[in-house]
Amino acid sequence: MSDQEKPQPGWGVALSYGAYALPAGLMIAPVSQMLGAFYAQVMGVSLAATGMILGILKIYDIVFNIALGVASDRTRSRYGKRKPWMAAGIPLLAIGMWLLFAPPIAEASPLYLTLALFLYYTGSSLIMIPYYALGAEVPATPYGRARMLGMREATMIAAMIFFGLCPLVATSLGFEVTSRETMLLVLGVLGVLTPPALLALLYKVPDVSSQHDILPKFSIGDVMRDFWDALVRNPAFGRLALAYAIVNFAIFTHQALNLFFISKVLQIEKVFGLALLAQGVLTVLAAPLWIWLAKRVELNRLIGGSLAVSSAFTALCYTFLPPGQAGLYLLIQGTGAVMFSGTIVLASAIQATAIDYGVLLTGRERAGTYISANNIASQIAGALPFVIVFPFLELVGFTATGENSADALGWVRFIMIYGVLPFQFLGAWMIWNFPITKAEASAHAAELRARRLAPAADAA
């Protein structure tokens, strides 16, 4: 096989890039699935206040991501345009995680939670926006890119394995799922995994810059014009970002309520960690199948079908699932994870296809702007469950710390099963009708790969 026929990038770069997704995923999971319950049940912040603070900080993150995406696109340095921003985020993220997961106080105030989340979101964005942009810019063949980005998404889901092990180990030792000990265990695992993953990423993965395209000086007006121009001139990306925002609203709503659903409605709290572990393992095991299928089937069909089928299956099974059936619940979760794996694993590959299309249309390398736009849509979707659902549950009488009425539990069950279903089906339909075919994506990728490698060839 010639070098031109080999999937690019090679395994070394792909593995080094994908490795950071493990600690990155482990950071995200407890924030979306346990933080609300932890601060409401253990740290003394009300469910409504926790939801509002999480929502407000996500809105801050949206504004910050707009500026960060364009700023990293326009950065010029001897170390590249993405890696300096990532390095700047490391200390902020470390402090934010410590305050958030291992609070050095007995009881938290809303102000404390706000500060901890501010540091966490700022540090996380400084790393993750450039990280995702880096993945879209590494010179790659279509299959090589799908392999590398699929590996990233599968590794991020593998983080669920480590995350699931934390509450599983904690409960086996007699601690509650939302206890300080469980959160401290999460922080300890992060402390072990994050440094080597960051070193591999910063050392091994190339930070490709188009020097003629980088504008080092810019104003707020430049940021907003770049951001708006990127979206307006790339309708394929705008459609995809909207579709995933709709899907992510359903996902984040499910994650925000999952612990309450398991502990209060199904009364099987002790299997929370085991369920996450099973989901993570089966999602990763199913990933090679979905990546293999991506060589033979249109990406949009795979993703849309995966989402629609897994959503319908889970809703149908939850409808007839009685309380106390831990084994049946685990079977449903595991089967659904295999079905849903395609939606997660292939998401970045279809996003990169839309980014390539935008770069060809405009002639400018703006992966950071596109990634920040997608992240903004995701952040809005992630904020809404906390801002809307948590206060609503408190309004109808649901409590995180005491006994609940049948009506209050009924609302949790309804939202968890049926409230998210229309959004899942709408998102699946929009992705199914994505306008760029596999053949067109291959042509776009080949043209861009030649363009990105041309400066290096000229220099040689």
Confirm if 54 and 37 have CB atoms less than 8 A apart: no
Confirm if 354 and 366 have CB atoms less than 8 A apart: no
Q: How confident is the model at residue 459 (pLDDT cuts 50, 70, 90)?
A: very low
Highest mean pLDDT among 69-73, 207-211, 362-366, 440-444: 440-444
Q: What pLDDT does residue 214 have?
A: 46
Q: How far apart are CA 71 and CA 65, in angstroms?
A: 10
What's the mean per-residue pLDDT of the chain? 83
Q: What pLDDT does residue 390 have?
A: 86
Mean pLDDT of 350-375: 77
Q: Which residue has the higher pLDDT, 352 or 70?
A: 352
Q: How far apart are CA 154 and CA 19, in angstroms?
A: 10
Residue type, 91: P
- Report the residue count for the chain: 460
Tokens standing for 421? Answer: 């279903």
Mean pLDDT of 215-233: 63
> Is this prediction's pTM over 0.75?
no
Residue type, 357: Y
What is the separation of C-alpha 193 from the centre of its chain, rounded to a whole number of angstroms? 18
Q: What pLDDT does residue 44 have?
A: 87
Tokens standing for 175? Answer: 């601690």
Tokens standing for 350? Answer: 């279809």
Tokens standing for 395? Answer: 């309004």
15-204+220-448 to CATH, choices 3.40.605.10, 1.20.1250.20, 3.30.70.980, 1.10.10.60: 1.20.1250.20
Is a pLDDT exceeding 60 seen at residue 210?
no
- Cα angle 37-242-300, degrees, rounded to a multiple of 5: 105
Q: How far apart are CA 369 and CA 226, in angstroms?
A: 8
- Residue ranges per structural domain of the chain: 15-204+220-448
Residue type, 429: W
Q: Which residue has the higher pLDDT, 266 or 82?
A: 266
Q: How confident is the model at residue 434 (pLDDT cuts 50, 70, 90)?
A: very high
Q: Which residue has the higher pLDDT, 330 or 155?
A: 330
Q: How far apart are CA 389 and CA 385, in angstroms?
A: 5
Judged by average pLDDT, the poorest of 146-155, 256-265, 282-291, 344-353 is: 146-155
- Cα angle 453-129-155, degrees, rounded to a multiple of 5: 85
Tokens standing for 39? Answer: 């601060």
Q: What pLDDT does residue 217 have?
A: 54
Q: How far apart are CA 53 and CA 93, in angstroms?
A: 18
With H, G, I as helix, E, B as strand and everything else as coil, classify residue 396: coil
Q: Which residue has the higher pLDDT, 119 or 30?
A: 119
Q: What pLDDT does residue 301 have?
A: 94
Tokens standing for 61? Answer: 């993150």
Q: What pLDDT does residue 212 have?
A: 44
Is a pLDDT exceeding 50 seen at residue 1?
no
Q: How far apart are CA 21 and CA 163, in angstroms?
A: 13
- Tens of pLDDT, residue by residue over 283-337, are 888 988 998 998 888 989 999 999 999 999 999 999 999 999 999 999 999 999 9
Q: Which residue has the higher pLDDT, 119 or 442?
A: 119
Q: What pLDDT does residue 112 have?
A: 94
Q: What pLDDT does residue 179 have?
A: 87
Nearest Cα neighbor of 355 from 265, 434, 419, 441 is 441
Q: How far apart are CA 28 and CA 69, in angstroms?
A: 20
Q: How far apart are CA 428 and CA 445, in angstroms?
A: 25
Q: What pLDDT does residue 211 have?
A: 45
Confirm if 359 and 300 have CB atoms less than 8 A apart: no
DSSP symbol at 81? S
- Tens of pLDDT, residue by residue over 172-203, are 888 888 889 988 988 888 888 888 998 888 88
Q: Which residue has the higher pLDDT, 226 or 286?
A: 286
DSSP symbol at 348? H
Q: What pLDDT does residue 227 have?
A: 66
What is the separation of C-alpha 212 from the centre of its chain, rounded to a whole number of angstroms? 32
Mean pLDDT of 22-50: 85
Tokens standing for 91? Answer: 């200390």
* Percent of the chain scoring above 90 in pLDDT: 26
Whether the bond into 9 is cis, omega within 30 of 0: yes
